[in-house]
Amino acid sequence: MLSAASVYLDLTAAFYSLTVPSSIQLFPGRPHVVKLLETLQEWLVSMPLDKIPYDAILDLVNNKMRISGIYLTNRVAWVGCQGSRAPLRGYPCSLWKLFHSLTVQAAVRPDALANTEFEGDAQAVLKTIRRYIREFFGCRECAQHFESMAKESMDSVKTAEEAALWLWKRHNVVNKRLAGAPSEDPKSPKVEWPTPDLCPACHEEINGLHNWNEKEVFAFLKRHYGIKEISLQYADPNSDHPETEDGKKDNLHTKDPRQNKPPDQPIVKPDFMKKLVQPMEKEKISDHRDGLKTSVSFLGLGFSNIDMSLCVVLYITSSLFLTIMYFFFRVRSKRWKIRYNRPYV
């Protein structure tokens, strides 16, 4: 079974390494989880590397630095996605819920992406979901099917409301495809959703044929996946007051980290991040990162790219000089022995 840390690691890797950092504003998580995601995003952006070891990010997600106000439970307990047996529902079900929540929040809060490169992009969240499924989702057949659906019709999405409805339609397509499959939970059959008992107004009949009232469907999605519908009744009780490094209870997570964070607060660099710098082939830094920073801090030590280049040149020059001097004195030593160590006759 996937651990909670692994689940969150995959999700954060999707939503913060795949170009939508402002999804934090759309994520309907508790403040201490949001703070963890914000911290992870800041560290990922600050690292002057295109490839970061998986274990290093996992250490951060597990909060090995004991940062105050960050907590992630190790307890895996599905509530709304609890299957009748262990392998059923669970993670894929919760992933769909997260995706629906993000698209609905993007439609309800259009200002969440304001002043970012994604402002006005109705497909911003869908693009991130698409890339997550393509790069991270374990079921490759499912990923390929989702990719084919995205290629077929995602370009037609022009508004945030259409994005939420597009995902809802595709979810119903997936349910229809997987109905009767071994992965289907017999106690939670895959049917078109929402069912008439959940949303009678969503269903209508035209000329004797079933038809969806998309206006009512969108209203239902806003209610069903709204923040007011998120219950913390089954949340991990140990997360109410996580302990800090000195053993005291930490109450910082009860406040919204976006309100408490000083505007000029420096980004803390954990010691374990030093292991991120490993021999690897240099790749071109992306254009958008070059535009943001002309000089990147190296592990928080204040070294720019120019400084590091000069250090490399100096290192290579010194190595060549020492090598030449070594061979020079070695040859000279051999000549000295030949000249003065001749046997007497």
Q: List the chain domain ranges.
A: 4-239
Task: State residue 172's pLDDT score.
Answer: 97
pLDDT lower than 70: segments of the chain? 1-25, 48-49, 63-72, 235-307, 334-345
Q: List, in sequence order, every residue forming a beta bridge with 185; answer none if it has no partner.
A: 188
Tokens of 54: 């998986």
From CA 137, how far away is CA 152, in angstroms rounded?
A: 20
Give Cα separations from 291 to 174, 187, 287, 296 (angstroms): 40, 53, 6, 11
Tokens of 264: 């000029």
Q: Which of 302, 286, 308 has the alpha carbon at shortest distance from 45?
A: 286
Task: State residue 93's pLDDT score.
Answer: 92
Query: CA 208: distance to chain centroid?
Result: 46
From CA 67, how far away is CA 324, in angstroms rounded?
A: 50
CB atoms within 10 A of CB 154: 18
Domain 4-239, CATH among 1.20.120.140, 1.10.10.10, 3.40.630.40, 1.20.120.310 = 1.20.120.310
Task: State residue 293's pLDDT score.
Answer: 44
Q: Which of 179, 185, 217 has the alpha carbon at shortest distance from 198?
A: 217
Q: What is the DSSP letter of 105?
A: H
From CA 203, how far away is CA 103, in angstroms rounded?
A: 22
Give Cα separations from 76 to 46, 72, 97, 328 (angstroms): 31, 11, 16, 67
**Helices 91-108 and 214-224, axial angle in degrees (round to 10):** 110
Question: Per the omega criterion (within 30 degrees of 0), is the bond before 263 cis?
Answer: no
Q: List, in sequence order, every residue forming a beta bridge with 249; answer none if it has no partner.
A: 243
Q: Which amino acid is at 190?
A: K
pLDDT tens-digit readout, 58-89: 777 776 656 666 666 777 778 888 899 888 99
